[in-house]
């Protein structure tokens, strides 16, 4: 029946055959399928070969015309076959080349780590915790009363100047709140809400209105320490801080104390250490809690005494790790930070 129809309308048959072959080859994705397609359309017993058998009895002019059309179609289908075979072969080759062995170990990836400032803070807190200190935290915005007045810092002290402290003005533009310049206000808050004995350290971020350089930043981290009890003396302070220095910097660490002034302690001292160098490096300020500070929180200085100290966390890290520039901590330099993994 198909042959009879083809004889009646050979040109239409060739057009339909081309459309059928073109559409069917688009659906092929394997070597087996493309080979079956070749046999079906351009093979020795395929549809093109069968078509040539149908017009042998036609006139010479009709044979030439149909033969030319059939040969043209055959060439077109052979070209389609070669192109599709190449696509399938190349695809198979790529799959073999990109083969992945899922039994192999995974590719290592870089993991994050704790920032060196936080590492140092945790190490310092852990050391004081072993010495019997509790850990407290406090607000970063403080009132002048807690930041200065109750710490025996007079109103005309340079630290209270707008060029040294960052003030947070209220709606009436009155200087009353500050970004805390130190963690010392927590001394007052803790003594107001806790009865002696007190043994605490307070880590946290501080802010000061000052130019930055290799050793100064406008924001930094500090740890405040406070001990209040009966019969606490300067020797207790020296022994505690010396033991802390040995825990952080090693058993060979040497420490010395020199007189210094801080409004909230009397006497005051500066503690320096000799750590793997031939020079002394200042580590912290310390001293015996001033009697006025004790009275400001309702404690009798004739009964209770104590000592306080404060050290910069970045400063401790710079000494321990030999870092020259405090700004390196906050530059987000991966080459710097990855050293502390």
| pLDDT per residue as tens digits for the range 117-164 | 999 999 999 999 999 999 999 999 998 889 998 998 888 877 777 668
pLDDT tens digit sequence for 255-264: 899 999 989 9
307 SS3 class? strand
Q: What local confidence, expressed as pLDDT, does residue 331 receive?
A: 87
Q: What local confidence, expressed as pLDDT, does residue 96 receive?
A: 54
Contact 252, 274 (CB under 8 A): no
Domain residue ranges in the chain: 2-97, 116-340
3 SS3 class? helix
E strands along the chain, which residues?
A: 134-135, 141-143, 167-168, 177-179, 198-207, 219-229, 254-260, 265-274, 281-289, 305-312
Contact 313, 182 (CB under 8 A): no
Adjacent-strand bridge partners of 74: none
264 SS3 class? coil
- Give the residue numbers marked as catalytic: 163, 182, 208, 222, 265, 308
Taking the C-alpha atoms of residue 148 and residue 297, their distance in angstroms, rounded to an integer, is 14
- What architecture is domain 116-340? 2-Layer Sandwich (3.30)
Residues of the chain with pLDDT below 50 are 1-7, 171
Q: Give the N- to C-terminal CA distance of the chain in Å, as an integer.
A: 82
Burial of 140 from C-beta contacts in 10 A (0-12 / 13-18 / 19+): middle
Could you say which DSSP state residue 280 is in? Answer: -
311 SS3 class? strand
Q: What local confidence, expressed as pLDDT, does residue 268 receive?
A: 93
């Amino acid at each position: 029946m198909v042959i009879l129809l083809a004889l009646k309308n050979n040109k239409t048959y060739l057009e339909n055959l081309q459309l059928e072959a073109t559409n069917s080859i688009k659906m092929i994705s394997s070597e087996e399928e493309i080979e079956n397609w070749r046999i079906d359309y351009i093979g020795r017993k395929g549809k093109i070969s069968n078509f040539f058998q149908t017009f042998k009895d036609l006139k010479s002019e009709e044979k030439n015309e149909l033969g030319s059309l059939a040969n043209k179609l055959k060439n077109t289908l052979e070209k389609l076959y070669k192109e599709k075979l190449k696509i399938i072969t190349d695809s198979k080759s790529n799959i073999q080349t990109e083969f992945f062995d899922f039994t192999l170990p995974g590719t290592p990836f870089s993991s994050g780590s704790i920032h060196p400032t936080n590492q140092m803070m945790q190490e310092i807190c852990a050391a004081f915790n072993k010495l019997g200190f509790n850990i407290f935290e406090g607000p970063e915005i403080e009132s002048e009363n807690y930041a200065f007045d109750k710490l025996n810092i007079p109103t005309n002290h340079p630290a209270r100047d707008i060029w040294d402290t960052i003030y947070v003005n209220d709606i009436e533009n009155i200087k009353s709140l500050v970004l805390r310049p130190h963690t010392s206000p927590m001394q007052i808050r803790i003594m107001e809400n806790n009865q002696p004995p007190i043994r605490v350290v307070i880590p946290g971020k501080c802010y000061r209105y000052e130019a930055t350089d290799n050793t100064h930043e406008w924001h930094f981290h500090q740890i405040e320490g406070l001990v209040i009890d009966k019969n606490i003396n300067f020797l207790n302070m020296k022994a505690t801080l010396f033991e802390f220095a040995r825990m952080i910097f090693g058993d060979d660490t040497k420490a010395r104390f020199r007189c210094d002034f801080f409004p909230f302690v009397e006497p005051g001292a500066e503690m320096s250490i000799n750590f793997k160098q031939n020079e002394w490096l200042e580590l912290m300020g310390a001293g015996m809690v001033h009697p006025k500070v004790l009275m400001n929180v309702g404690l009798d200085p004739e009964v209770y005494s104590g000592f306080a100290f404060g050290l910069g966390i970045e400063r401790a890290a710079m000494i321990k790790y030999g870092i020259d520039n405090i700004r390196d901590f906050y530059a987000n330099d991966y080459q710097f930070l990855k050293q502390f993994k």
